[in-house]
Amino acid sequence: MRFDLSLYVITDRAIGRDRPLEDLVAAAIRGGATMVQLRDKTRPLRDVVATGRRLLAITGPAGVPLIVNDRADVALAIGADGVHVGPDDLPVSDARHLLGPDRIVGASAGTVDEAVRAEADGADYLGVGSVFPTSSKADAGEAIGPEGLARIRAAVSVPIVAIGGITADNAPEAIRAGAQGVAVIAAVFGADDVREAAHRIAEAVRAARE
């Protein structure tokens, strides 16, 4: 499946200040989001499935892939476009086996070794970071900086999306270091005007590519 990592937004109910996720996602897509990840580690699984189906009703008509964080079973149940797994989650190879060859499997990587392993196991893209310091993910680890991102870029051939502390101001650094796009939580869903926040980052990415 073809996909565009330019602006990959990741949901977070707390950062979104409990505003309806459907409204936030729709606004982000209007602002230029090219991929959406449903990430919800706290709510009951039944609620996550229901939320995923509602988000698919928004992302599908917009032509924007919906990726489910961690849960390949949820991705399959709702007919999502793919799954994203971390180093401690379902192995990439198993996620690929479950989802088949036509859906997207993304993987997190903070080191060259993790990136090389994920690519070898069949990941379609890598979420690399944390590139900059972030408070959005408690398990993000130490920031690797644009230099660390560039090292991973040189070690693999699959597309990379930079994650961790991304803003409109520093997104160009990630693109120049080799990322195809940026993944954002707080800078979009924590904004008062989600559409405008997404637009600013999408434009920063576009300008950096040019």
- Give the CA distances from residue 208 to residues 30, 179, 181, 182, 194, in Å, rounded to whole numbers and listed in that order: 21, 11, 10, 12, 21
The encoded tokens of residue 201 equal 């980052």
Which of 27, 72, 29, 79 is CA-nearest to residue 52?
79
Q: What is the pLDDT of residue 142?
A: 85
Residues 161-206: tens digit of each pLDDT? 999 999 999 999 999 999 999 999 999 999 999 999 999 999 999 9
Cα distance between residue 11 and residue 29, in whole Å: 12
Which of the residues are catalytic? 39, 108, 137
Q: Which residues of 34-70 are buried (b: 16+ CB within 10 A; e: fewer)?
A: bbbbbbbeeeeeeebbebbeebbebbeeeebbbbbbb
Residues 93-103: tens digit of each pLDDT? 999 999 999 99
Superfamily of domain 7-209: Aldolase class I (3.20.20.70)
What is the reported pTM? 0.95
Residues of the chain predicted below pLDDT 50: none
